[in-house]
Amino acid sequence: MTEALRYKRVLLKVSGEALMGQRDYGLDIGTLKAIAEDVRDVVNLGVQVCLVIGGGNIFRGVSGASAGMDRAQADGMGMLATVMNALAMQNVLEKLGVHTRVQSAINMASLCEPFIRRRAIRHMEKGRVVIFAGGTGNPFFTTDTAAALRAAEMDCDALLKGTQVDGVYSADPRKNPKAERYVTLTYLDMLARDLAVMDAAAISLARENKLPIIVFNIHEPGAFTAVMKGEGRFTTVV
């Protein structure tokens, strides 16, 4: 069965905002469950999956900084927010029967494992979903960059970015009906056109490591599985 798969190991980046559902803040467990079900289905296909989850549904360093906090301090809070999301995702996945481990870039020994690259690879080889929490562990970075970093470290075949729409568009398709979806783009296109899908540091890291980025709709049930089979609608950045 696994012979037919295009990807052996992938990293899925889910933004914190994607976990809010219709809420203005925090976590919507129904939305979390729907995403977790898609992850389970992909694991059941035989693909090794790791996750990076953002924290923007709880706290972003830039908003703390704009309210007068030191950016590095506020970013610390943002990184802690990603740990909360990771623990929530772990719980939902485990309830679906998926074996998981959370590894954090910031040591929190009683809640999760520290990030250890070789151990994370071993977990995935055993079919466990590894959820990377705490971003890169450094302020002034984003979880997009953490996703590109971990995907490169884990030797993933692709970095998947689950968004609110089914790919990268020339403009926001929810605001502009004439927006066109790109089927493929180059990393340089993304950087030059400043398409707000991933930040420049993440795109540069993916480019340096020849890591394809696949942008798809995280809220469409089954879309993650479809992408793994090369079906459905998505944008590939290479």
17 vs 94, beta carbon nearer ligand UDP? 17
Answer yes or no: is 136 a known binding residue: yes
Q: What are phi and psi of 4, to 5 degrees?
A: -80, -10
In whole angstroms, give the CA distance from residue 142 to residue 146.
6
Structure tokens at 108: 């929190």
Query: From the CB of 123, what's the least distance to ligand UDP, in Å?
Result: 21
Annotated binding-site residue? 55:
yes
Backbone φ and ψ of 51, nearest 5°: -130, 145
Q: How distant is the alpha carbon of residue 4 from its chain centre?
A: 24
From the CB of 231, what's the least distance to ligand UDP, in Å?
Answer: 26
Q: Binding residue per annotation — 140?
A: yes
SS3 content of the chain, % helix, strand, coil (to 5): 40, 20, 40
CA Rg value for the chain = 17
Does 56 carry a binding-site annotation? yes
In terms of CB distance, is 99 or 131 closer to ligand UDP?
Answer: 131
Q: Is the CB of 15 or the CB of 236 nearer to ligand UDP?
A: 15
Instruction: State in angstroms the smallest separation of the CB of 199 from ligand UDP.
Output: 8
Strand order in the sheet with 235-237: 113-114, 100-104, 129-133, 48-53, 9-14, 158-163, 213-217, 235-237, 184-185
The CA distance from 212 to 184, in Å, is: 10
Least Å distance, CB 188 to ligand UDP, is: 23
Does 163 appear as a known binding residue? yes
Nearest approach, Cβ of residue 159 and ligand UDP (Å):
13
DSSP 3: G
Nearer to ligand UDP, 74 or 93 (CB): 74
Determine contact, residues 218/35, Cβ cutoff 8 Å.
yes
Taking CB atoms, the residue at the shortest distance from ligand UDP is: 54
**Rule CB under 6 A: which residues touch ligand UDP?**
15-17, 54-56, 60-62, 75, 78-79, 81-82, 135-136, 138-139, 141-144, 146
Which residue's CB is nearer to ligand UDP, number 74 or number 124?
74
Query: Which residues participate in the annotated binding site?
Result: 13-16, 55-56, 60, 75, 136-143, 163-164, 169, 172
Query: Which residues participate in the annotated binding site for UMP?
Result: 55, 75, 136-143
Query: Which residues participate in the annotated binding site for ATP?
Result: 13-16, 56, 60, 163-164, 169, 172
